[in-house]
Amino acid sequence: MKKIFSVILMMFAILAMVSCDSLNPSERLMVGKWYYSESSMDHDGNKATVESNYEYHDDKTYISNGTVRLVYDGDGVQEVVVLSLAEKGIWSIIDKMQNTNTTDVDIKIVDVSFQGENLTDDRTVIQELVASEKKRLYYDMVIPWKKESMGETSYRIITLNETTCVTVDKDGHKTERRRIK
């Protein structure tokens, strides 16, 4: 009788462990740490470089941390803006679609600097310019970007394996991440 009871108890334990795993095979592949990097240039010669680390957890939550470096050229003066980004949310993969719901976004202006041949040598003017630019960027870039980043998004998965994840958004923009852990 003890053996039968032990076997039944073991079967229930195995069933409980199997039913707790709510990840499908694609989601199991996604769990881990991923690195993303991209550089781009617009038609005016302005440059953007993004680097981020993403952590997808087996409880279907995620966090990401990264930096954005923007370089604006104009009239002999170059403006360099560095932002830090942090996100939290939940995720899933259903029918080759990676779905995320971003629940928290933090964007900070880390640094604003100016350089170039047409830049004044007056430090007071430069400090005032930096302070003014930080304020403008906060209202014109940070606040709208936070609002845009919140909520649900879906990406079509092109490739997902042990080392690489390639997705495409609704506008056709391709993103490639490399596993780091």
Considering only residues 18 and 123, tell me which one the structure prediction assigns the higher pLDDT.
Answer: 123
139 lies in some domain:
yes
| Count of alpha carbons within 13 angstroms of residue 32, beta-carbon side | 18
12 lies in some domain:
no
Q: What is the C-alpha separation between 175 and 51, in angstroms, rounded?
A: 12
Q: What is the C-alpha separation between 154 and 89, in angstroms, rounded?
A: 13
124 lies in some domain:
yes
CA 54 to chain centre: 6
What does the chain come to in residues?
Answer: 181
Q: What is the C-alpha separation between 179 and 181, in angstroms, rounded?
A: 6
Considering only residues 139 and 15, tell me which one the structure prediction assigns the higher pLDDT.
Answer: 139
78 within 8 A of 71, measured Cβ to Cβ: yes
11 lies in some domain:
no
94 lies in some domain:
yes
Across all residues in the chain, what is the average pLDDT? Answer: 89
pLDDT tens sequence across 45-104: 889 999 999 999 999 999 999 999 999 988 888 999 999 999 999 999 999 999 999 999
- What is the 8-class DSSP label of residue 135? H
4 lies in some domain:
no
Host domain of residue 29:
24-179
Q: What is the C-alpha separation between 105 and 147, in angstroms, rounded?
A: 9
Q: What is the pLDDT of residue 143?
A: 96
Task: Please give the structure tokens belonging to residue 32.
Answer: 């881990």
Q: What is the pLDDT of residue 18?
A: 44
5 lies in some domain:
no
- Write down the pTM of the prediction: 0.81
7 lies in some domain:
no
Domain count, the chain: 1
Pick the closest to residue 94 from 22, 9, 43, 15 (CA basis).
22
Pick the closest to residue 60 from 25, 34, 22, 97 (CA basis).
22
